[in-house]
Structure 1
Amino acid sequence: MTLEGQRALVTGGGRGIGRAIAGALTETGARVGILGRDEATLRDAVAAGAAADFAVCDVRDAASVAAALGRLSGGHGFDIAVANAGAVETGPFLRSDAERFRRMVEINLIGTVNLFHAALPAMLERRRGRLIAIASTAGHRGYPYVSAYTAAKHAVIGLVKSLALETARSGVTVNAVCPGYADTDMAAASIDNVAAKTGKSRDDALAALLRDNPQGRLVAPAEVAAAVLYLCGASSDAVTGQSLMINGGEF
């Protein structure tokens, strides 16, 4: 597959799954821009060849996102926009106040909304484009101690389903990719958190995270990137409003 001549944008593209997606898109010939809050991480990703350019940007700020897209695309818009930036906070529901829920909605849902708002007009004008949200298996089922994150990811899936219907005849597709626990710094932080709170070893903490995964392993970022590539190709023109699970058969 080639995406030669296409422009792609990945939020949270400096590390983990976002960097893997940016690198995979670059390898197929797309010119990739990445957004994030850590300039050093973004610079490193560009220097390593994962992307062509970057902009420091907080995806929760709609004006900042729109300005970054305009600069990175040279005013031409993007063919592919991947909303990957996200965050998770853990804790029981009764210790998860409204502010925690707002934080999770702002980064996981509103960050996706802002990217899609900024990227969609140029796609509609060209009558072709790909909007992809990196959601989570937590967008489809509940998990204990992450109610705020789970609620936000459910909202992302609802956005994808609704926007896909609005754009169904426009040439633009809207989909989500939903990984289970992936081999990223976010998963490493979760493992450390479980170990610290329970006194378990890191190996036992990892086993606890993977107990519902029939394959018994973390998802590789490259596997998520491969799913994104499929959704960007011409063979997926009829795929919209879908959530592609990358979860080792968990459900």
Structure 2
Amino acid sequence: MKHALVTGAGSGIGAATARSLLDQGYRVSLLGRRLEALEETVADYADGHHCAACDVTDPAQVSAAFNAATDALGAIDILVNCAGAAPTSPFHKMPAAQWQQVIDVNLNGVYHCCAQVVGDMRERGWGRIINIASTASLKGYAYVSAYCAAKHGVLGLTRALALELAQKGVTVNAVCPGYTNTDIIRTAVAGIADKTGRTEAEALRTFTDTNPQGRLIEPQEIADTVLWLCTDSARSITGQALSISGGETG
């Protein structure tokens, strides 16, 4: 079975994706900043996985982690870029360091990871690169301008790389979730409630009201989309932005 590497695999969408791939028999390498969280993600699986702490903003760490994953489980057939961060700030109050951090994690991190696998995938004539991009790659949101800029960049990279690899047996796609039921949203809801005096239920509507279905997306919905993109049934799907948003975006 093929080897999939998932970044940001210690929680949320990344963790759900890693577990779903393992359930389908894939060998899975899990990368994230906290080794303990990665190991907890796969605690119920006896084998077929490899965990490594890695900061995707550091090219040296990325190179070492990808080499270790290849040594442990073989050549990487599938790359799922899930690592991300979305701090909030009005643009006029945003420190330059915060802007740079968000770009480094969400955009440069994707570049560093893609750079590790593209050459080998080209040579072997098969590969899947799946970038978890967010609806913030398709529209703007107030107070997360750096995140929107980074995710728009991820979508541009996705589309360009898909064209370069279209005749090499490698597909490159972006999955674009709306607000998803993860720790990021739970933290944001608590923060809004604390700052505004609203109840957490009222604060949650800040996010659910953007979705015409009136709900958060579940991480498993994203994982299921990733699983499909890994199959040969999706071999003609490349350079696409798949919106998982209940109709918020097209």
State the TM bucket, normalised to the shorter chain: over 0.9
| Contact 1:46/1:53 (8 A) holds in 2 | no
Q: Deviations over 1:161-192 (max 9, x none)?
A: 11111111110100010101111101101111
Shift of 1:97: 2.8
Determine if the alignment matches structure 1 residue 25 to structure 2 residue 21. Answer: yes
Rounded to whole Å, the distance in 2 between the matches of 1:198 and 1:153 is 28
Equivalent pairs, count = 247
| Contact 2:209/2:215 (8 A) holds in 1 | no
Rounded to whole Å, the distance in 2 between the matches of 1:108 and 1:12 is 11
Rounded to whole Å, the distance in 1 between the matches of 2:79 and 2:215 is 29
Shift of 1:226: 0.6
> Of 215, 218, 230, which residue of structure 2 is paired with 1:217?
215
Letter of the 1:53 counterpart: H
Determine if the alignment matches structure 1 residue 108 to structure 2 residue 106. Answer: yes
Rounded to whole Å, the distance in 2 between the matches of 1:23 and 1:39 is 16
Partner of 1:42 in structure 2?
38
Aligned residues with identical type, % of pairs? 47
Rounded to whole Å, the distance in 2 between the matches of 1:127 and 1:71 is 22
Shift of 1:197: 2.1
Partner of 2:52 in structure 1?
55
CA RMSD of aligned residues (A): 1.3
> Of 233, 243, 246, which residue of structure 1 is paired with 2:244?
246
Q: Secondary structure at the match of 1:82?
A: strand
Rounded to whole Å, the distance in 2 between the matches of 1:166 and 1:198 is 48
Choose 65-74 or 82-91, whichever is displaced more. 65-74
Trace 1:1-251 onto structure 2 (pairs within 5 A).
Answer: 5-49=1-45, 52-74=49-71, 76-251=74-249
What stretches of structure 2 of length at least 5 have no aligned partner? none
Shift of 1:17: 0.6
| Contact 1:70/1:77 (8 A) holds in 2 | no
Shift of 1:71: 1.1
TM-score with structure 1 setting the length: 0.95
Runs of 4+ in structure 1 over 6 Å off: none
Rounded to whole Å, the distance in 2 between the matches of 1:109 and 1:48 is 32
Q: Deviations over 1:110-169 (max 9, x none)?
A: 111111001112211111000010010011100111111111111111110111111111
Rounded to whole Å, the distance in 2 between the matches of 1:133 and 1:55 is 20
Letter of the 2:220 counterpart: A
Shift of 1:46: 2.4
| Contact 2:207/2:216 (8 A) holds in 1 | no
Rounded to whole Å, the distance in 2 between the matches of 1:208 and 1:84 is 24
Rounded to whole Å, the distance in 1 between the matches of 2:168 and 2:80 is 18
Q: Deviations over 1:48-85 (max 9, x none)?
A: 22961100110111121121111112184200000000
Q: Secondary structure at the match of 1:18?
A: helix
Q: Deviations over 1:80-107 (max 9, x none)?
A: 0000000011011101132221111000
Letter of the 2:22 counterpart: T
| Contact 1:87/1:104 (8 A) holds in 2 | yes
TM-score with structure 2 setting the length: 0.96
Shift of 1:43: 1.4
Q: Secondary structure at the match of 2:79?
A: strand
